[in-house]
Amino acid sequence: MKIYANESPATIARSGRPWSVLRSLIDPVIIVGTYLGILAFVRKPWAEADFLVILLALVLTYPGKVPFNRFSAHIAFAILSQWFWVLVVLLLFRWAIGTEHAPIFSVWGATAPLVLLGIHWLSPVLAPYLRCFYKQSKVVIVGANEIGWRFFELIRRGEADGQNVIGFFDDREAHRLDLIGPHLLKGRIDEVSGYVKRHGIDVIYIALPMSSQRRVVSLLEQLRETRASIYFIPDIFVADLIQARVDTVGGVPLVSVCDTPFQGMPGAIKRAFDLILTLLALPLLLPVLGLVALLIRLTSPGPVIFKQRRYGLDGREILVWKFRTMKTLEDGDKTYHQVTRDDDRVTPLGRLLRKTSLDELPQLLNVLAGNMSLVGPRPHALAVNEQFRKLIPGYMVRHKVKPGITGWAQVNGCRGGDDLESMRRRTEYDLEYLRSWCLTLDLVIIWKTARLLIVGDEKAY
């Protein structure tokens, strides 16, 4: 289960509850219903191949895990990714489906994802009407603090369908609580057990800080005689969450608060994306690379390629390749002087290359070598890293992923500038990229980068 700091999580898992069963059936039913609708529209009689298609579709899509009370680009990508793999598997069974079903199969393959996207887009409106299918559980939250309030907001927005928060318990008086109103405060923490028994509370969420271990243990002892389900909400918001998620090792629950988004399949998808786009682009760019290399050789003395040591994945040093644009070759390991407008160290051709970002093209070889990505935080000179890692919290977290030729910061106007405020803004965008990564975001960044290459970037010099 993934944890989001500033937005709703994918779901608050409620295994065994009716809503869990209902939600897991929504997508399979939509997919099968679309297929049956197409069959009815063309008035084609049933055949054995139809049963096979429906069976495979149910097996491949059940249980549905996509949220059904909100919609976003990330959810849309999850829907399309799942449908892509469903089609791949079904195409492997095409010999059993038969050629006579090819037209229906093709229409279904194009129509089903559109229906899924449409219904999920409407899900914020449709989800409340499904509440009649499941029992409402009474919920109390112990701890009227920020973490408790955030969790209350998640439940109120429908992320834990079937749950209704009755109120909070806290040892502070109502007038000392900024987050909740007096009507939501039901009593002190030592009164929880009695209240739960009297009012038939079903679920208790304990949102006390980690420093309150003794109070938590005492509270759990008091609640042993109740029938309520009890959950402890760890105070994970004390840290800046980067791809945080809940996992287990040998049955022991773990909360990851800072991790790379490219573990397992996402990492394989990211690498395949880099390789495919790079290999497709290289035949078109080779003449450009050759022409630029020739012009550099003819217009100024020195090597065509400039190599600089920078930090890559996990802070390991890598050699980043660029076309030489300056008269001097600075490695930037001890000191680094940011290029400024009208900098006399930049050659006339180099100024044009930097303005058009053509100087970055050799980094496609870094992408093929696997030490850079097409999209990611831009790598900085070693001296820059050593300077700002001490000044900007979370600066080195940028290195949880491979550096990129372009990034979220660059397409949002944060290119250039080595003052503290510029670097802080760039780091904020880089960390936001780590929190929010999906393949759709990479495509958006590449599209915006291409647009900047055409219209020009005033901060490129």
> In this structure, is residue 2 part of a structural domain?
no
Confidence of residue 364 (pLDDT cuts 50, 70, 90): very high
CB 158 within 8 A of CB 117: no
Highest mean pLDDT of the ranges 50-54, 231-235, 377-381? 377-381
Last residue of a domain, one of 199, 229, 256: 256
Give Cα separations from 179 to 52, 146, 147, 149, 153 (angstroms): 55, 7, 11, 7, 11
Strands 252-256 and 245-249, by their bridges, are antiparallel
Classify residue 9: in a domain, yes or no: no
214 and 155, same domain (yes or no): yes
Q: At which of 256, 291, 308 does a domain end?
A: 256
Structural domain tally of the chain?
3
Whether the per-residue pLDDT at 291 is higher than 90: the answer is: yes
Q: Each residue of 42-68: pLDDT tens digit? A: 777 777 777 777 888 888 887 777 777
Domain membership of residue 22 as a residue range: 18-128
Is residue 376 within 8 Å of residue 407, measured between CB atoms? yes
Looking at the fold, whether 122 and 146 belong to one and the same domain comes out as no
Residue 318: pLDDT over 80: yes
In a domain, 11, yes or no: no
Statement to judge: residues 159 and 203 lie in one domain: yes
What span, in angstroms and rounded, lies between the C-alpha atoms of 310 and 366?
12
Q: Are residues 78 and 188 in the same domain?
A: no
Mark whether 153 and 295 lie in a shared domain: no
* Residue 92 within any structural domain of the chain: yes
Same domain, residue pair 277 and 367: yes
pLDDT tier at 16 (50, 70, 90 boundaries)?
Answer: very low
Do 87 and 178 have their domain in common?
no
Question: Do 225 and 295 have their domain in common?
Answer: no
Does 284 lie in the same domain as 390?
yes
Is 322 found in the same domain as 246?
no
Question: For 123-142, how does the pLDDT look when each residue is reduced to its tens digit (9 = 90+)?
Answer: 888 877 776 666 678 899 99
Please say whether the beta carbons of 442 and 273 come within 8 A: yes
Same domain, 104 and 191: no
CATH number of the CATH domain containing 183: 3.40.50.720
